[in-house]
Structure formats: C-alpha cells, structure tokens
C-alpha cells in the first residue's frame, strides 16, 4: 500500500475517520447521510463528492459547513489539505454551541491543525 493510499483510507473510511477525528457512521458513497459524534452531540452530514484517492467532500451539521479533504501524492509523501467552508458571519451564533461563529472558527482552526498534524499523522505512520 502506498503512503497516499494509507492517507486516503484514513480519511475515507468510517474506521479511519474514527481513529483520528470523531466516531461516525460514514460510508464512501455520494449522497450517503451519516453522523459524526461531536462533543456537542451527533452532527448530521452528507457525502457530496468522492474522487478517490484525491478528494472527499461532505456537509457537516446544520449551519451550512462543507468540509473537503484534498490529497496530492508527492512521491513517497502526501500533501493533505482540509478546507472547512460555509461559515456564518463572525457575530452570528452557531446553533449547536450557542457561541459566535468567530469563536468557533478560531477553535476549529486550532483543532484541525492538531487533528491533522498530530492524530492523522500518527494513524497513517503506524
């Protein structure tokens, strides 16, 4: 299995996503509706796009977020990018948390960094 395939498996399977992100009932099928078990309760999601082994995109929760995982093979390494978009205005409230979007966005930016640089890397390199 190539390194890129290991990364793809970690970000495109329920077990893989659970190992570094959050428990879920994900299936790699466009249109599949699933839930991520967040600290604030279950978050409804829907698979929007799959381009194996390069791209996975899904909606996340009810506030209009879209999360996209982009993979680019670089020899024996993989460049991995997370795009988290669909944010409300900074002063708007995120319904599930009751906090301003600006606060949640800052928290998630730091969270994504730790998840990808620490947890995902560890899962892939095991």
* Per-position pLDDT tens, the chain of length 126: 677 899 999 999 999 999 999 999 999 999 999 999 988 889 999 999 999 999 999 999 877 889 999 999 998 899 999 999 988 777 777 777 887 878 877 877 777 888 999 999 999 998
For 63: left if phi > 0, alpha if psi spans -120 to 50, otherwise beta; the answer is alpha
Task: Please give the CATH architecture assigned to the domain spanning 3-125.
Answer: 2-Layer Sandwich (3.30)
pLDDT of residue 1: 67
Q: Name residue 72's beta-bridge partners.
A: 79
Bridge partner residues of 34 (DSSP): 45
What is the C-alpha to C-alpha distance for residues 105 and 63, in angstroms, rounded to an integer? 12
């Amino acid at each position: 299995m190539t390194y890129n395939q290991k990364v793809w498996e970690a970000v495109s399977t329920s077990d893989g996503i659970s190992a570094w992100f959050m428990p879920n009932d994900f299936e790699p099928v466009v249109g599949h509706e699933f839930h991520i078990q967040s600290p604030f309760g279950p978050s409804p999601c829907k698979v929007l796009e799959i381009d194996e082994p390069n791209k996975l995109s899904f909606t996340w929760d009810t506030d209009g977020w879209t999360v996209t995982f982009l993979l680019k093979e670089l020899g024996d390494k993989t460049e991995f990018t997370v795009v988290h978009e669909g944010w409300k205005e900074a002063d708007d409230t995120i319904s599930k948390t009751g906090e301003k979007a600006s606060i949640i966005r800052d928290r998630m930016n730091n969270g994504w960094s730790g998840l990808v640089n620490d947890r995902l890397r560890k899962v892939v390199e095991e």
